[in-house]
């Protein structure tokens, strides 16, 4: 993965409900499937499900308002 | 303290008729990128009567993808015709890999972001002709892959970029409450301050929505900073203008009106109930 991929992965998580659902069901596996090494995948797998849902909902609201 | 308001169309007439009480006005950059000649005349008129600062929301200065050149050029053109005294942007990314997130996303607080931020700020400085003030953002999600705490981040960012902070006290307060850390004000790096209000969601989280009055705790935090420029942001649910003016006056007098806060030696604030 290129160095920019963490932000890219987060942008996808914030905007793609299907990816978010797959990630929340299997966070480490989905991060690995996205190409991250074990260490990064472990860090990404620590994302709090409730926080992710709140953030995604907030971003969706902002996109709809534009 | 020099205290002003963020320009919003709904507040425009009231701001213009109360310039004797408003020290500075902050205008959003993006709506003015395609300003008509009439709009340019109007904002130049405003700038002739009150100091103006420009506030950007779309550059994504913390983006590891880099900042799109056309956005910097639009900002440079705005700076040229409006001649504000300063400009600011957020410590955020707003897009990545071609995906528009829709708002300001807190980046991982790590070396990779810091290096990208420094590069982006350099590009901005070269294109725009002046360095931005950098604003801390509110976030509902703890940025993953972070190696710095938020307090450390607000210390290393100014050192790495040479930029002062636009310290948003509500963003800092909301993050501290939502993620359970004690606030340490980065006093040495503050070049400007934002005040705003929000609301509690989900029982115990603070949402920075800019739709409510500035809470008391922010005035207490402001009282612990040196004199600076303060902008009060309100994005909707507008109260009678007199209430906004009361917030301006309170912020201006903050250093003498505030009760002692019981700060520790390093300026740490305990998170208090939201009101």
Query: What pLDDT shows up at residue B275?
Result: 55
Residue B139: pLDDT over 50: yes
Q: Which residues of B touch A62 (CB under 8 A)?
A: 102-103
Binning pLDDT at 50, 70 and 90, where does residue B274 land?
low
| Cross-chain residue pair A6–B145, CB shorter than 8 Å | yes
A26-46 burial code (b ≥16 CB/10 A, e <16): ebeebbbebebeeebbebbbe
pTM: 0.92
Binning pLDDT at 50, 70 and 90, where does residue B263 land?
very low
User: In angstroms, rounded to a whole number, what is the distance separating the alpha carbons of residues B221 and B236?
Assistant: 24
Binning pLDDT at 50, 70 and 90, where does residue B203 land?
confident
**Considering only CB atoms, which residues of chain B are within 8 Å of chain A?**
63-65, 93, 95-97, 99-103, 105, 107-108, 112, 139-142, 144-145, 201-202, 205, 207
pLDDT in tens, B29-88: 999 999 999 999 999 999 999 999 999 999 999 999 999 999 999 999 999 999 999 999
Cα angle, residue B229 at apex, residues B225 and B232 outer, rounded to 5°: 100
User: In angstroms, rounded to a whole number, what is the distance separating the alpha carbons of residues B179 and B262?
Assistant: 22
User: Crossing angle for the helix pair B111-128 and B69-82, nearest 10 degrees?
Assistant: 40
Which residues 10-39 in chain A show a CB within 8 A of chain B? Answer: 10-12, 14-15
Binning pLDDT at 50, 70 and 90, where does residue A5 land?
confident
Residue A54: pLDDT over 70: yes
| Cross-chain residue pair B141–A54, CB shorter than 8 Å | yes
Q: Which residue of A has its CA nearest to B104?
A: A59
User: In angstroms, rounded to a whole number, what is the distance separating the alpha carbons of residues B132 and B221?
Assistant: 23
Query: What pLDDT shows up at residue B202?
Result: 81
Residues 6+ apart with CB under 8 A from B177: B205, B206, B271, B274
* Mean pLDDT of chain B, nearest integer: 92
pLDDT in tens, A8-30: 999 999 999 999 999 999 999 99
């Amino acid at each position: 993965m290129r160095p920019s991929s963490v932000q890219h992965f987060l942008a996808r998580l914030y905007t793609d409900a299907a990816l978010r659902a797959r990630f929340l069901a299997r966070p480490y596996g989905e991060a690995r499937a996205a190409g991250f090494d074990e260490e990064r995948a472990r860090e990404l797998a620590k994302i709090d499900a409730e926080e992710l849902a709140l953030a995604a909902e907030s971003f969706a609201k902002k996109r709809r308002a534009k | 303290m020099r205290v002003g308001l963020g320009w919003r169309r709904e507040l425009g007439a009231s701001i213009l008729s109360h310039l004797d009480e408003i020290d500075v006005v902050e205008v959003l950059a993006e709506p003015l990128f395609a300003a008509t000649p009439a709009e340019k005349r109007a904002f130049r008129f405003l700038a002739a009567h009150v100091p103006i600062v420009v506030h950007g929301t779309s550059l994504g200065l913390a983006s590891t993808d880099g900042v799109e050149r056309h956005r910097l050029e639009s900002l440079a053109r705005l700076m040229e015709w409006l001649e504000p005294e300063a400009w600011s942007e957020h410590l955020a990314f707003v897009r990545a890999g071609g995906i528009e997130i829709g708002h300001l996303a807190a980046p991982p607080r790590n070396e990779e972001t810091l290096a990208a931020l420094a590069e982006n700020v350099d590009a901005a400085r070269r294109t725009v002709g002046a360095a931005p003030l950098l604003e801390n953002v509110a976030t509902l999600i703890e940025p993953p892959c972070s190696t710095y705490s938020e307090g450390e981040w607000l210390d290393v960012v100014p050192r790495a970029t040479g930029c002062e902070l636009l310290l948003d006290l509500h963003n800092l307060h909301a993050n501290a409450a939502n993620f359970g850390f004690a606030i340490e004000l980065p006093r040495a790096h503050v070049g400007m301050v934002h005040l705003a209000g929000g609301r509690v969601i989900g029982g115990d989280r603070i949402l920075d929505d800019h739709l409510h009055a500035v809470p008391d705790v922010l005035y207490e935090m402001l009282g612990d900073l040196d004199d600076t420029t303060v902008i009060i942001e309100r994005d909707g649910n507008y109260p009678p203008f007199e209430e906004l003016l009361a917030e301006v006056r309170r912020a201006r007098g903050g250093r003498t009106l505030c009760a002692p806060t019981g700060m520790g030696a390093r300026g740490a604030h305990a998170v208090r109930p939201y009101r």
